Amino acid sequence: MNTTKTCLIDTNLYQSCPKSCKSVLSGNTSIVQLAQSCIAEDKLNSFLDGEVTFNVGISAFYQANSFILNRFTVAKPENQELVSYFLSISEPGSVSDILEHFSIQVLFELFKTNYDNFLKLQDNYKKKYNTRNFFQIKGNQFWKGISFQKICDLILYSIREKNEYSLVSQFIVLLPPAVVSKLQDFTDITMDEERNLFLALGDSIYELPIQSPRIYPHMMNLFQDDPEIYIILSTMEELVKRQETILDITTKLIEYYEEHSFGLTIQNIYSELRGLEKEMISEILNQLKEKNVISDSQKEMLQMVFQQGSIDFLKSLKEDILR
């Protein structure tokens, strides 16, 4: 490979792409010019061959325009593996634009490979993370950065072109409840296709309204002519309402935390949760801990407060410490 080759802004093969390269050039040059002059693809290939550093390789991944990156990804399996690797180690927000500009075909292949690898290691993930949700694994969280319309397009492509219901049914948990409840407004999916999409979840179909309570009425309507599923769903009404309360309160506390730089105080949380059943309080505290809204010590302190039944317990505890 010609090591003296440079791009439009005189960056050579062994130099990292400038951080603003893609945004600046996309507004000042044509796609044809970029495709002819950009050497991001050369850098990615050279990284695979061990000829350039990691920083050069990943900078090329971040700065390559969508045409070049789509072409590189489909060229050979090793390229797809590299793209998946770079996505998995990136912060979701930093690659959302890249995902948004991948073709539906490329997204499908990336997700299929990603999910197949997850299934092979699923038992290990269960033991380590105590969860079955593919999107909760850190290396898969970049998928959360895709817009809901792109997900809808991917679902329809997977169903119509690949007959892959089970695979893309996983995306239901990423879509906002309002979108799931009106999927036919965002795609031209048929009622039968939508039912089959939900059915592809298997037994996990009954976990869905617990994870996302607001889609419960839509599911009841969707399966009203399927006695077996409808009857089971109908027995879940109180459980779904309880979960909706938990999620609403948790969301309210998280929003308060994000809006106020000083965070949540024990008094804030106690005032919001006082009067709820102990199991519900425990679940909300666990969720706040998982979201890093409260620390382990704060969670333990709050548990002690609710066990005592009054926040006045803290005053006496402080007095005992100061004696």
pLDDT digit string, tens, across residues 6-46: 887 888 999 999 887 877 766 565 556 666 788 999 999 99
Supply the pTM of this predicted model.
0.80
pLDDT score of 319:
42
Give the chain's mean pLDDT: 86
Give φ, ψ of 6 to 5 degrees: -125, 165
> In whole angstroms, what is the distance from residue 295 CA to residue 16 CA?
39
1 band by pLDDT with thresholds 50, 70 and 90: very low
pLDDT score of 309:
67
209-220 pLDDT, tens digit each: 998 899 999 999
238 band by pLDDT with thresholds 50, 70 and 90: very high
Percent of the chain with pLDDT over 90: 53
pLDDT score of 87:
96
What share of residues in the chain are helix, strand, coil (percent, to 5)?
Answer: 75, 0, 25
Give φ, ψ of 12 to 5 degrees: -95, 180
The residue-averaged pLDDT of 275-298 equals: 87
pLDDT score of 296:
87
For the chain, give me the number of helices (H) and strands (E)? Answer: 22, 0
| Lowest-pLDDT range of 105-109, 262-266, 291-295 | 262-266
